Amino acid sequence: MKNYFPLLKRSPLFAGIGEEDLASMLQCLKAKSESYKKEDILLLTGQAAAYMGIVLAGRVQIVKEDFAGNRTILTEITPGNLFAEAFAFARVEHLPLMAVSVTDSEVLWLDVRCIASTCPSACPFHIRMIENMLAVLAQKNIQLNLKIEHISKRSTREKLLSYLSSQAARQGSDEFDIPFNRQELADYLCVDRSAMSAELSRMRKEGILRYQANRFSLLNSSWNQV
């Protein structure tokens, strides 16, 4: 576990907490790590939420699947980031979504009951972690609102440009990488993959953007008037 301490120190949950306190804190939180293969299901729709996870290695997607098996990607979790924390804190008895390992992954599971209640000695680092947890939940709410903004656009083009422009702004460059392949991007934006691919081709011909695999470039501001 100690080989992941540098990563955990960069995790928003442990911001401002020294490495010397991590070992004690993880023991206090009843932390346990699990390894998963690609396409393994970490959390299953309908199960109770008791633990939240931190991705240590690999990638995990939070997805919702309808009765026909169609998947919508809600978000993708990369190393150092959390998932399922809101459901675990709310003690949801039947999860409305599932967590799937996109690659071989390792996840650290934490008992949220140990986070919500400080230990008898009320350690300063535990209090700091609770403050960090509130900040994480607030940031996740902002991210959810941003996704709602993307998928509420009327057309596939508008959804694509809303998402791509937000990625450019977040990465501080008109040239950037996105974390999704084409099918995953279509699932995330709730659009048909074929229609999305056709729209991307039209936008490239119109000089709005350029792309290769998951690397995109917004070429000018003309999309702002689309």
Per-residue pLDDT of the chain (226 residues; tens, 9 = 90+): 778 888 998 899 988 888 778 888 888 888 999 999 999 999 999 999 889 999 999 999 999 888 777 888 888 999 999 999 999 988 999 999 999 999 999 999 998 888 877 666 666 778 888 889 999 999 888 888 889 999 999 999 999 999 999 999 989 999 999 989 999 999 999 999 999 999 999 999 999 999 999 999 998 654 454 4
Tell whether pTM > 0.85. no
> What per-residue confidence (pLDDT) applies to 110?
93
> What per-residue confidence (pLDDT) applies to 44?
94
β-bridge partners, 108: 33, 54
Sign of CA pseudo-dihedral 44, 40, 8, 170: negative
CA atoms within 13 A on the CB side of 143: 14
> What per-residue confidence (pLDDT) applies to 118?
66
CA distance 172 to 100: 29
Structural domains of the chain sorted by starting position, each given as residue range(s) with its CATH number in brackets: 2-149 (2.60.120.10), 153-225 (1.10.10.10)
> What per-residue confidence (pLDDT) applies to 225?
41
Cα three-residue angle 98-22-78, rounded to 5 degrees: 35
Is the CB of residue 184 less than 8 Å from the CB of residue 198? no
> What per-residue confidence (pLDDT) applies to 226?
43
Neighbours of 156 (CB within 10 A): 19
Kindly write down the DSSP assignment for every residue of 39-80, as one continuous string.
Answer: T-EEE-TTS---EEEEEEES-EEEEEE-TT--EEEEEEE-TT
CA distance 81 to 79: 6
Question: Identity (one letter) of the amino acid at 42?
Answer: L
Kindly write down the DSSP assignment for every residue of 153-212, as one continuous string.
Answer: SSSHHHHHHHHHHHHHHHHTSSEEE-S--HHHHHHHHT--HHHHHHHHHHHHHTTSEEEE
Which two tokens mark 53? 């996870």
Instruction: For residue 206, give the DSSP letter.
Output: T
CA distance 101 to 91: 23
> Could you give the 3-state DSSP secondary structure of residue 193?
helix
User: What is the number of residues in the chain?
Assistant: 226
